[in-house]
Amino acid sequence: MSEDHPSTTAHRSWFDRLSQALSGEPRNIEELLEELRQAQANGLLSNDTLSMVEGAIEVNDLTVADVMVPRGQVVSLAANAPFKDNLAIVIESGHSRFPVHGDEKDEILGILLAKDLLRCLAEGVTADIRLLLRPVALIPASKKLNILLKEFRLSHNHMAIVVDEYGGVAGLITIEDVLEQIVGDIDDEHDDDYDESRQMTELDGHWLVNALTPIAEFNERFGSNFLDEEFDTVGGMITAEFGHLPETGEEISLGGFDFHVSKADDRRVHQFTVRVHAN
């Protein structure tokens, strides 16, 4: 009987350990991840595959609140607004789905698909968008992401509205937001190395400010007096001031500060470059 090649023996040994990890009584997650990382080091898994497996495991510990688009950055449509105004928002934002509200933004009537609106245009009809609405799913911010992903798959919904304990809109989440936790964010070539986990970073006379920075923290750092009654974050406040979801490169002045959108995508603003007006 021929002897096994050393590398073959090493691979079998790893498969034996992995089989043991996946059979019988489950061991802790860290042991399983260690086996997978060892497999990647041995060339049995690619870096991308390992990252996706780690992301899939981490999803079990995340809630909707961890990844949702906050209320201040949600692009929504008013059911009572003129058809042309809503059409302009749809075209400008580039989104495919929009929550539609009644007189109050907390009164969510349904979800409008851009393709349904464009179909009306192709047919030469400017219908009441209430007639085009799809059912909306309302979920709590505490819902686990792995449970939400299963619900998305079963219902074929791609978007849900997140509500707070009082029934008000806290934000929204899409199936893409959940999947990004598994496959990772898709950054373009213009993204820099700024660490978004830091709320505010000073660089050569200006500041990089995370859009999710609480307004209260911004006020404390800069001595400003922006109100946080309607919006909690700098991103929500500035987006509302623009009156639309701003793109990278747009700039606005407010309260003695210049806010330059330095990082944004088609769903939300991520970062501002902020300069303080000279006295």
Residue 72: the pLDDT is 81
Q: pLDDT averaged over the chain?
A: 79
Summarize pLDDT for 212-234 with one digit per residue, the tens. 888 988 999 999 999 887 777 89
Lowest mean pLDDT among 130-144, 172-186, 256-270: 172-186
Distance (Å, rounded) from C-alpha 236 to C-alpha 268?
Answer: 9
pLDDT given for residue 80 in this prediction = 93
Query: What pLDDT was estimated at residue 219?
Result: 92
pLDDT for 8 equals 47
In this structure, the strands spanning 97-101 and 77-78 are parallel
Give residue 186's pLDDT.
43
- pLDDT above 50 (res 104): yes
Q: Report whether 32 contacts 21 (CB < 8 A).
A: yes
DSSP string, 146-183: HHHHHHHHHH---EEEEE-TTS-EEEEEEHHHHHHHHH
What are the φ and ψ backbone dihedral angles of 169, each rounded to 5 degrees? -75, 125
Closest residue by Cα to residue 245 from 69, 48, 53:
69
Of 82, 83, 77, give the one whose Cα is nearest residue 101. Answer: 77
pLDDT per residue over 132-152, tens digit each?
999 999 999 999 988 998 899
Each residue's pLDDT tens digit, 4-60: 554 444 445 555 555 554 444 446 767 766 777 777 677 776 776 767 777 677 777
Cα separation, 238 vs 223, whole angstroms: 17
